[in-house]
Amino acid sequence: MRHLQNFRLIEAVARAGSMRRAAEDMNITASALVRRINGFEQEFGTELFERLPGGVRLNPAGELVLHHYRATLSDLSRVQGQVADLTGERRGHVSIACSQALLPYFLPQQIARYRGEHPGVTFSVNIRDRAQAEQELASYSSDLALVFEPVYLVDFQVIETIPQAVNVVMRADHPLAEKSEIRLRDCLDTPHIAPSAKYGVRHLLDFAARRGSRRVDPLVETESFELIRHYVLQERVIGFQIPIGLTGFGDPQLVFRPISERDLPPGNLILGQMRGRTLPVASARFAMQVATALKTYSGEETR
């Protein structure tokens, strides 16, 4: 589809912030790239980039053109999926932005199940915090987002929501493991490792602590939930995670217990897409499968 090449070049320049770097990324000469961009701007009737001393950036017209290109690719992918359905051969590509908690168990199971029925479908899994995931939807970089406690929800069309209580992760011999109910004050008074502020788990912890005139003061702060799970085995500290990222964790040295809802109500794990967008066939059907699995998971958690 060579007619889309100019749009690919525009996207490459926007991503690189430089004509020269974009030319290297696209494996063409810088002079050829500049000619293509200038020619497109002349034909289109307006400039798309602000020329800056250190490079270039999209102006408002360029932002609109790039959004149109990404929407066009999305529509084209949807039509390709529909055509593949006509031939009885399911193909397509699913891109999903997700929280780290979905990586160990839930998402691998769902992708493997879907690909077992439709081996022609490929996937991109983009690990994003809750704000980045919504940006991925708006820019068409991801078809779906599965995140804990999204930030804005302005252009976020909710497909399914399940509650997730923040759990304390600790060694089986930790004193808090013996408690029938873990209060937030127990956690704040205990040395802990915690996720950084941009993650939903930390957002809920900070909000609840402030209500009690306390603060979360971790010995270690990290963007890795994998580090949290492993670090609590190395030092007598506790960590925090939501249960969907812990279910199936088979290490007998580790236990996890929910923080009392009297102190910290559950947050929401939300599956969503960009509002008003018609998803490609493969992504839409994968979303249906995940939504059903989340409902089942929620029911198992409440029994």
80 near 110, Cβ under 8 Å? no
Q: What angle do CA 135, 78, 144 make, to 5 degrees?
A: 30
pLDDT in tens, the chain (303 residues): 566 788 888 888 888 898 888 888 888 898 888 888 888 888 888 889 988 888 889 898 888 888 888 777 777 776 776 666 645 546 788 999 999 889 988 999 999 999 999 898 999 999 998 888 888 898 888 999 999 998 877 788 999 999 999 999 999 999 999 998 999 999 999 999 999 998 999 999 999 999 989 999 999 999 999 999 899 999 999 999 999 988 766 678 899 999 999 999 999 999 999 988 888 888 999 999 999 999 887 655 543
Buried b (16+ CB within 10 A) or exposed e, 227-246: ebbebbeeeebbbbbbbbbb
280 near 81, Cβ under 8 Å? yes
Identify the pLDDT of residue 280: 85
Q: CA-to-CA distance for 147 and 129, rounded, in angstroms?
A: 8
Identify the pLDDT of residue 248: 62
Q: CA-to-CA distance for 25 and 11, rounded, in angstroms?
A: 11
Identify the pLDDT of residue 36: 87
The whole-model pTM stands at 0.71
190 phi and psi angles, rounded to 5 deg: -110, 135
Neighbours of 224 (CB within 10 A): 12
Identify the pLDDT of residue 65: 86
